Amino acid sequence: MTDVTLVLNAGSSSIKFALFPAVEGVQEPVLRGKLSGIGSHPRFTAQTRDGTTPNWDAQLPLHPRASHEDLIPALFDWLERHDDGLTITAAGHRVVHGGREHHGPARVCPTLLDDLAELIPLAPNHQPHSLVAIQCLVDAVPRLPQVVCFDTSFHRTQDSMAQTFALPRALSESGIVRYGFHGLSYQYIADRLPETPLGTRSEGRVIVAHLGNGASLCAMRQRRSVATSMGFTALEGLMMGQRCGSLDPGVLLHLLDGKGMSTTELRHLLYEESGLLGVSGISNDMAELEAHPAPEAREAIEMFCYRAACEMTSLATALGGLDSIVFTAGIGENSALVRHLIIQRLAWLGATLDTDANQRNATSITGKDSALEILVIPTDEEGIIASETRRLLSVQPTSSHRTIQQSRP
Ligand code: AMP
């Protein structure tokens, strides 16, 4: 029997999952998959370590209206029935918001769940789904140890200047501060950097660009967060797939008072209808926009890159200079066009790309004469959750576990 850690990364319309061997260090998962299109057209993809794709759609309730509450127990049930020889000994979850109290991974208990529920208004698209995932496992396997890993934790090394809004002090003291997000991705990249061509230079001034459907930047020195583009919620900073990024707060007042918008409509506008989708009027998906002939598609891509380059310059100031840029996440890892357009705008800093390496999504895409190192490093949020879960449980050991039945057909 092999002990494995189940990792769940629950988003608004998708749940990524993976089973990692419960041993020290970063490992390849034995199974990795995704339930996507939840609420509209649910789909499953899953791959075992040897690259085979199990055909299991028929065995899950892929009803168009199937919710997270329907799908998570079904997923756990599927894992029980299909992955013989594996014992799930722990579960680790991505939780977007840990608030001010939670600076590192934490063991699930009723008090913690109450704390995290209070943070739902600060991460309405993510937090409720993570809590549903945790509760579903508590109900299905009460003795299974569960650990939560927060996207906000990585940024708690920032000084107060980087974390504070220019608001009355009492509001800052009440918790209205810049928390920052995508911290699990940044933690993974920070851990990997010394193994990359950067080597010891990874301790220098590095900006990591997590460019996915959600997007942010993190300025690191000595592989610790110094500043980040996202703030109190996952809305601030870069333009994203459907989120607007930074916006003059006067626009919000105008939409509420001048246009009579309700807060529900405003929330929908900011989280769902803006960004690449809003500007292009075509799609929130970068790959689709790159393939689309309409000028609005190109305009949205150009704006995404313009804003990313401007934010990078701002973060370089927080670092007092810049040595390296790392691209990661779906767009950062795969879009040669986006990397090219961003680096082109940073030419005044002496940044140039190796065009061929950029087209190949190579690890080092630094141009021959570039003053900055430029890298592409795939992120692995599930991998860091698995290793953090094991690390926490090794210092807080437990005897409870769940054995998966052996019943592969
Ligand atoms: P993520 O949220 O990290 O899964 O990233 C999703 C984003 O990555 C979507 O906008 C995708 O269109 C984009 N993406 C993935 N592959 C490519 C690609 N080959 N070219 C451009 N964008 C891509």
How far apart, in Å, are the Cα atoms of 182 and each of 137, 229, 250, 395, 406? 24, 10, 27, 25, 37
Residue type, 126: H
Distance 239 CA to ligand 1 centre (A): 14
Q: What is the pLDDT of residues 160-208, one digit of tens each?
A: 999 999 999 999 999 999 999 999 999 999 999 999 999 999 999 999 9
**Is the domain of 351 the same as that of 399?**
no
| Among 15, 35, 213, residue to substitute to test ligand 1 (most atoms within 8 Å of Cβ) | 213
Q: Identify the pLDDT of residue 164.
A: 97
Instruction: Output the CA 262–ligand 1 centroid distance in Å.
Output: 32
Residue 382 counted as domain residue = no
In the chain, what percentage of residues exceed pLDDT 70? Answer: 93
350 and 212 within one domain: yes
Separation in Å, CA 4 to CA 132, 333, 405: 22, 28, 14
Identify whether 356 is part of a domain: yes
As for how many domains the chain has, the answer is 2
Q: Do both 398 and 371 map to the same domain?
A: no
Q: Please give the pLDDT value at position 56.
A: 57
The set of catalytic residues is 151
pLDDT tens string 284-305: 999 999 999 999 999 999 999 9
**Domain-embedded: residue 29:** yes
Is residue 102 in a domain?
Answer: yes
* Residue 385 marked ligand-binding: no
Domain membership of residue 220 as a residue range: 197-376
SS (H, E, C) the chain: CEEEEEEEEECCCCEEEEEEECCCCCCCCCEEEEEECCCCCCEEEEEECCCCCCCCHHHCCCCCCCCHHHHHHHHHHHHHHHCCCEEEEEEEEEECCCCCCCCCCEECCHHHHHHHHHCHHHCCCCHHHHHHHHHHHHHHCCCCCEEEEECCHHHHHCCHHHHCCCCCHHHHHCCCCCCCCCHHHHHHHHHHHHHCCCHHHHHCEEEEEEECCCEEEEEEECCEEEEECCCCCCCCCCCCCCCCCCCCHHHHHHHHHHCCCCHHHHHHHHHHCCHHHHHHCCCCCHHHHHHCCCHHHHHHHHHHHHHHHHHHHHHHHHHCCCCEEEEEHHHHHHCHHHHHHHHHHCHHHCCCECHHHHHCCCCECECCCCCCEEEECCCCHHHHHHHHHHHHHHHCCCCCCEECCCCCC
Low-confidence spans in the chain with pLDDT less than 70: 25-26, 54-61, 83-84, 396-409
Identify the pLDDT of residue 400. 42
Which CATH number is 297's domain given? 3.30.420.40
Nearest CA to ligand 1 atom 18: 334
Domain presence at residue 188: no
- Residue 330 assigned to a binding site: yes
Query: Could you tell me the end-to-end alpha-carbon distance of the chain, in angstroms, rounded to an integer?
Result: 18
Q: Is 330 in the pocket of ligand 1 (CB under 6 A)?
A: yes
Question: Do 6 and 146 have their domain in common?
Answer: yes
Q: Which of 334, 361, 377 to mutate to test the pocket of ligand 1 (most atoms within 8 A of CB)?
A: 334
* pLDDT computed for residue 399 by the predictor: 44
Do 345 and 399 lie in one domain? The reply is no
CA of 397 to the centre of ligand 1 (A): 39
Q: At 391, which amino acid appears?
A: R
User: Which atom belonging to ligand 1 lies closest to the Cα atom of 211?
Assistant: 3
The pLDDT tens digits of the residues spanning 117-159 come to: 999 988 888 899 999 999 999 998 899 999 999 999 999 999 9
Task: For residue 9, give the nearest of 143, 156, 134, 98 by alpha carbon.
Answer: 134
CA-closest residue to ligand 1 atom 15: 330
Mark whether 109 and 149 lie in a shared domain. Answer: yes
